[in-house]
Amino acid sequence: MDAQDKKQQFSSSDDVRSARPLRHVQTVTFDEPLVMELGGALPRTTVAYETYGRLNARRDNAVLVCHAISGDSHVAAHDADDETGWWDIAVGPGKTIDTDRYFVICPNILGGCRGTTGPSEISPATGRPYGADFPTVTVGDMVALQVRLIDHLGIDRLLATVGGSMGGHQVLWWGAKYPGRVKGLIPLATSPRLSSQALAFDIVGRNAILQDPNFHAGRYYEQDAVPGVGLAIARMIGHISYLSPQALDAKFDATRYQPRDVPVEFEKKFSIGSYLGYQGAKFVDRFDANSYIALSMAMDLFDLGSTREQLIDALKAGGTEWLVISYTSDWLFSPAESRRIVDALIATNNKPVSYCNVTSEAGHDAFLLEDSLPRYGALMAGFLAHLAGQWVAAAPDAEHSPTSIFHPDHPHRIDYERIVGLVEPSQSVMDLGCGTGALMQALHAHGCTEIVGVDIDQDAIVACVGKGLPVIHADLNEGLRLFGDGQFDVVLLSQTLQTVKEVEALVDDMLRVGRRCIVSFPNFAYHKLRRMLAEQGRAPETPGLLSHKWYDTPNIRVLTIADFENFCARKGIRVHRRVALDTEENWREIEDEPNLNADLAIFVISR
Amino acid sequence: MDAQDKKQQFSSSDDVRSARPLRHVQTVTFDEPLVMELGGALPRTTVAYETYGRLNARRDNAVLVCHAISGDSHVAAHDADDETGWWDIAVGPGKTIDTDRYFVICPNILGGCRGTTGPSEISPATGRPYGADFPTVTVGDMVALQVRLIDHLGIDRLLATVGGSMGGHQVLWWGAKYPGRVKGLIPLATSPRLSSQALAFDIVGRNAILQDPNFHAGRYYEQDAVPGVGLAIARMIGHISYLSPQALDAKFDATRYQPRDVPVEFEKKFSIGSYLGYQGAKFVDRFDANSYIALSMAMDLFDLGSTREQLIDALKAGGTEWLVISYTSDWLFSPAESRRIVDALIATNNKPVSYCNVTSEAGHDAFLLEDSLPRYGALMAGFLAHLAGQWVAAAPDAEHSPTSIFHPDHPHRIDYERIVGLVEPSQSVMDLGCGTGALMQALHAHGCTEIVGVDIDQDAIVACVGKGLPVIHADLNEGLRLFGDGQFDVVLLSQTLQTVKEVEALVDDMLRVGRRCIVSFPNFAYHKLRRMLAEQGRAPETPGLLSHKWYDTPNIRVLTIADFENFCARKGIRVHRRVALDTEENWREIEDEPNLNADLAIFVISR
């Protein structure tokens, strides 16, 4: 493999895989028939799988990795001499899925062609390969066979199931049907069901295979040739859809007219054509066309529902914790699909859910690639450590943004203490603009157990997940659509109101989602600020919360206590409590003319 | 054709076209050989074309419409009994391209299969169809033949050339090579060269045709069968790429499992599959595979450059006015590609350019569809009227946003008069945040001839184009990347600074692009505003410019004259002139303590 190959190989899940047999594969054969979800049964099934690390004495450190359509059991190399695995960057000693700590199991899926029972296997009934007689496989059937495998391995409950794309479909199925058998789930770059666009690409690929004159209705095993053109065409379509337009341009735009002279029959006028032709042909060497049809159809038939209600119903079993990850440039399994999953999981409301839409330019393949691994790897590692109980509630961050208008640092976030004091330990709480989770930690210390944060900053999400705090990645300006009516006892918006563009929509949404809301903000009518404008003729600027210039301050909303009270009155919002503080005067609570004498206000409001 | 067909037919350029011959087609045959750009020659060429409306006596009202890959000369129905045209929504009496006013010409392109010379035509040399012997066609060759056609029609100079997708490539070529033969150009949904992704889809489609066993190296005309499977596969890939994911979901998600039983051999498990199969098969009935290969290759070879410099060089001929239109959901020919065109055109800086990124959910096909026609149709109609000299500088709008902090309406925008007074008629001017063009009109009346506006609001863009004012659709928060260093004598930012999020970046960019910049803004340190905060403790709110609530005001930057002067000093910006006005006091110019006594400031600055 030359340098060019090496550079290009990591563009999809399995360009790294040769057709050679894998050295570390184990197999187990089940003689009890597997009754298939959509009819038919397989009298005997074999699972090819690989394991990494050691199962601990309590048998509770097992992580099941589910592969995507063209993957196999070889998720990582077992040693330095071993062939590269499809997720070597994430699985191994000291890596994200740390095989020094976790016992990793990766089985080839049902219907595949890399050791587990699939259409190319000999049917015990006929003595010939199943071919087109192989019963229709669903993601449910794949997972049912995975359950047999973990039974065989003596594992009662997995620590986690992890997978991207169709691997993510398997993860979702684990959550829907086997919540008692797994503690936490990490679906990556996946969807509750395929978009019409993704479905359409699959269909065109299958049409190319089915219409290939060498397909012979799936009975090509006995012929001289395989339906290689059709399978290669299908693979080419897949390849394009796995990458973002930016990633394709980055790889091929500069060398557009310098194709490589690869030994294939496909068009080689452009470099991207020679690449697609080469990859397509290479895929034919190692993959079975009937398996491709079976697996792509399983993906196309996977369907947890097209409506919110159906999806909630599908995922209502609960009992598992979730970390859902999407990638910004993934157009095949778009972030909106992951948000639908998160939406439904939040609505079932019985276990913590975290979500992050990770910035990547790589497209759908991002979950296999290194470029955004620092974020999604940290998220997975933090979540696994949390599941394994290795996380200990950290002390609140030393670093966080100032609370006071005037003082850049306080030993304590005294406003947090006041807010925490307004919450009962039994109440469920959502913290909007949660940052790295300091207020959530304070609530946790207060005894609150049902807490979720929301923030727009990805590093804040990583930090929260690293502390075992459930957190949702969302832009408050887009509202709280993910959350249901009255879903939380208390919704907090601490020192964030003045930074929001869509104030009215957010407040309306807070009041819809929270039975009570607690809002804190700096009071721009505080006497010292009034004087700054009145006497100096300058936009207020102080060392603390307002330590920004007029042209770059995040505080784009200038409001006063009187303005907020007027706003509440106009909108028919009930004010239950107002706490006005003068942070300049030792956080004294102000009763007399708060709009003049307080620099910080905390309101408890409801509809 | 049933209702379902009817509903679905408008999803792509030519689903409306049957294989029947067209009744109104005219032809002309040229016997002088056409020497092809990439080698070879066609001894004789025929052009099939249709015309609509009448050529006027001055022969200056002709509009050439260029079709996309699968279109033909039948752009619109000629009468009520005529077959539907591919752009009936835009071409006809009283429509966007008004055939009561313009003489519309639509030729089938070279290499096609709908009357104009192409691979299926008999070669005079051999007496057999050209087939694969047809020389490689380029967009340049297509346009060269179009030039022969307009010569034949006795038209010296077209009023405009219009086209989308590959039709847009032809329009760009007209601008690059024949600027003397056309007054204005409207490229829609196109690109300077294909993205790697779009190129890749074309390649896979061609591979499917080339590898079809019925292709016979392009000599299938003498066989019993055509390479129908390959061509249908190519068409299916095209179909998916022409629509947005949203549009596909809107059409097919609800009926996913209700396929229609169409009489085709392709997979019919899902509704979108039955649709793709049906459309693919239908395309084979009316389109020639060799033509598809030739035309898609012409599109793939079209290349005005991958760098800004190459593109500027390709378009430097100048001499034509431009209206460039892209569509927000077009992922095949993304808005970024159109912005590259606009960027280069602006850099050549010798004729007006307008640009709008029109909001649409339809995808690449948006330019053929009705949903966003109110915007792109109005843009085209306004631009054509301007080219035809039918536009007369309108009186300044009665309606525009207030100038004064306190008065909601002024008979004159006195700040405009002051700004105009600071500009010489000989100077080139860019107006940032130009709105519907009132200040540009005032500058025009002042004698300025080189003016361009920039605004984020699409309706403002439509309004400006309707007044014959060149205008670029852009978000000032993303900077002025489209414009070159020192490209304008004067850059204006009138009453907009306080609404911008990325103030510092924008001011830096203004000072890069303009030799002088004029900035006006409301002064928040004006004595009455100081008093509002100081005495009432409320965020300032007045009937005029500040007639917004704290929670929804677009004025997110609170600054004073002192703040701005300090900002300029800190950044080393030279202040040439400061005009401070008290709009409350009859627009009196303030010399004494302007930061206290003026409510409006105008600064002339430079680096």
Beta-carbon-side half-sphere exposure of residue B34 (alpha carbons within 13 Å): 29
Best of B551, B552, B559 to disrupt the A interface (most A CBs within 10 Å) is: B551
Give, in order, the Cα–Cα distances in Å from A497 to each of A507, A558, A564, B402.
9, 10, 10, 28
Q: Are the C-beta atoms of A363 and A329 separated by less than 8 Å? A: yes
A601 token code pair: 């206000």
**Residues A383-436: tens digit of each pLDDT:** 999 999 975 444 445 455 666 777 766 545 778 889 999 999 999 999 999 999
From the list B199, B232, B265, which residue is nearest A270 (CB)? B199
Establish whether B81 is a catalytic residue: no
Q: Residues A371, A362: contact at Cβ < 8 Å?
A: yes
What's the confidence (pLDDT) of residue B589? 93
Q: Which of B204, B229, B556 sits opposite A236 (nearest CB)?
A: B204
CA distances A33 to B19, B180, B568, Å, are 54, 78, 80
> What pLDDT is stored for residue B598 in this prediction?
95
> How high is the pLDDT of residue A484?
87
Complex-level ipTM:
0.93
Convert the pLDDT of each residue in B435-465 to its tens digit: 999 999 999 999 999 999 999 999 999 999 9
Q: Residues A305-319, buried b or exposed e (16+ Cβ, 10 A)?
A: beeeeebbebbeeee
From the list A196, A534, A552, the residue facing B249 with the nearest CB is: A196
The proportion of chain B whose per-residue pLDDT surpasses 70, expressed as a percent, equals 93
Over residues B273-288, the mean pLDDT reads 96
Contact A321, A468 (CB under 8 A): no
Residues A209 and A234: beta-carbon distance below 8 Å: yes
**pLDDT value at residue A237:** 98
Query: Which tens digit of pLDDT belongs to each residue from B573-587?
Result: 999 999 999 988 888
Annotated active-site residue B592? The verdict is no
Q: Which whole number is the average pLDDT over A113-141?
A: 95
Instruction: Tell whether the model's pLDDT for residue A517 goes beyond 80.
Output: yes
- What is the pLDDT at residue B399? 52
pLDDT above 60: residue A70 = yes
Residue B7, both tokens? 């509903």
**Radius of gyration of chain A, Cα coordinates, nearest whole angstrom:** 28
The SS3 call for residue B220 is helix
Q: What is the distance between the alpha carbons of residues A588 and B373, in angstroms, rounded to a whole number?
A: 61
Mean pLDDT of A271-281: 97
Residue A576 phi, psi (nearest 5): -90, -30
The reported pLDDT for the residue numbered B167 is 98
Averaged confidence pLDDT in chain A: 92
Strand B488-494 and strand B514-522: the pairing is parallel
Strand partners, B50: B106
Tell me if B233 and A204 make a contact (CB, 8 A cut-off).
yes
H, E, C per residue of A438-479: HHHHHHHHHCCCCEEEEECCHHHHHHHHHCCCCEEECCHHHC
Lowest-confidence segment of A16-30, A521-535, B124-138, B578-592 by average pLDDT: A16-30
What Å distances lie between residue B569 and B422, B468, B572, B597, CA to CA?
Answer: 22, 39, 5, 22
Secondary structure in 3-state letters for A227-276:
CHHHHHHHHHHHHHHHCCHHHHHHHHCCCCCCCCCCCCCCCCCCHHHHHH
Whether A550 contacts chain B with CB within 8 A: yes
Start-to-end CA distance of chain A, whole Å, equals 66
Provide the pLDDT confidence category of residue B392 given band limits of 50, 70 and 90: very low
- Confirm if B190 and B337 have CB atoms less than 8 A apart: yes
B219 — pLDDT class (breaks 50, 70, 90): very high
Residues within 8 A of B (CB atoms), A 272-301 only = 272-273, 276-277, 297, 300
From the list A111, A139, A71, the residue with the least C-alpha distance to A301 is A139
Give the pLDDT confidence of B535-594 residue by residue, as tens digits: 999 988 877 777 889 999 999 999 999 999 999 999 999 999 999 999 888 889 999 999
Q: Assess whether pLDDT exceeds 80 at residue A576.
A: yes
pLDDT-based confidence at residue B348 (cuts at 50, 70, 90) = confident
The pLDDT assigned to B14 comes to 41
Give B53-86 pLDDT, tens digit per residue.
Answer: 999 999 999 999 999 999 999 999 999 999 999 9
pLDDT at A20 exceeding the cut of 80: no
Interatomic CA distance for residues A325 and A172, integer angstroms: 13
**Distance of residue B133 Cα from the nearest chain A Cα, in angstroms:** 17
Given a cut of 50, whether residue B394 has pLDDT beyond it is no
**Is the pLDDT confidence value at A87 over 80?**
yes
| Mean pLDDT computed over B33-58 | 97
pLDDT by residue (tens digit) across B469-516?
Answer: 999 999 998 889 888 899 999 999 999 999 999 999 999 999 999 999
The secondary structure of residue A607, as a DSSP letter, is -
On the question of pLDDT at B10 being above 70, the answer is no
Can you tell me the distance from the alpha carbon of B296 to that of A296, in angstroms, rounded to the nearest whole number? 28
Indicate yes or no: CB of A537 within 8 angstroms of CB of B300: no
B-facing residues of A in 568-607 (CB < 8 A) are: 595-596
Return the closest-CA partner of residue B263 out of B288, B248, B251, B280. Answer: B280
Residue B582 known to be catalytic: no
Residue A317 above 50 pLDDT? yes
For A97-126, how does the pLDDT look when each residue is reduced to its tens digit (9 = 90+)? Answer: 999 999 999 999 999 999 999 999 999 999
Concatenating the DSSP letter of every residue in B399-453 gives: ----SSSS-S--SS-HHHHHHHHTS-TTS-EEEET-TTSHHHHHHHHHT---EEE
pLDDT confidence band for A533 (50 / 70 / 90): confident
Distance of CA A563 to the CA centre of its chain: 40
Question: CB distance B559–A550 less than 8 Å?
Answer: yes
Cβ distance of B199 and A236 shorter than 8 Å: no
pLDDT for the residue A328: 98
Return the pLDDT at A391.
55
For A321-371, the pLDDT digits (tens) are 999 999 999 999 999 999 999 999 998 867 899 999 999 999 999 999 999
- pTM (two decimals): 0.94
CA distance B50 to B73: 6
Distance (Å, rounded) from C-alpha A289 to C-alpha A302? 20
Rounded distance, CA A604 to CA A574, Å? 8
State the Cα–Cα distance between residues A288 and A226, nearest whole angstrom. 9
Neighbours of B582 (CB within 10 A): 22
pLDDT at B23: 81
Contact B504 A552 (CB under 8 A): yes
pLDDT classification of A209: cutoffs 50, 70, 90: very high
Q: What is the pLDDT of residue A398?
A: 47
A80 Cβ under 8 Å from any chain B Cβ: no
CA–CA separation, B164 vs B216, rounded Å?
33
Whether A15 contacts A238, CB under 8 Å: no
Closest-CA distance, A83 to chain B, in angstroms, reads 30
Share the mean pLDDT of chain B.
92
Q: State whether B539 and A561 contact (CB < 8 Å).
A: no
Count the neighbouring beta carbons within 10 Å of the beta carbon of residue B425: 12
Tokens of B148: 């022969």
Determine the 3-state secondary structure of B187 from DSSP: strand
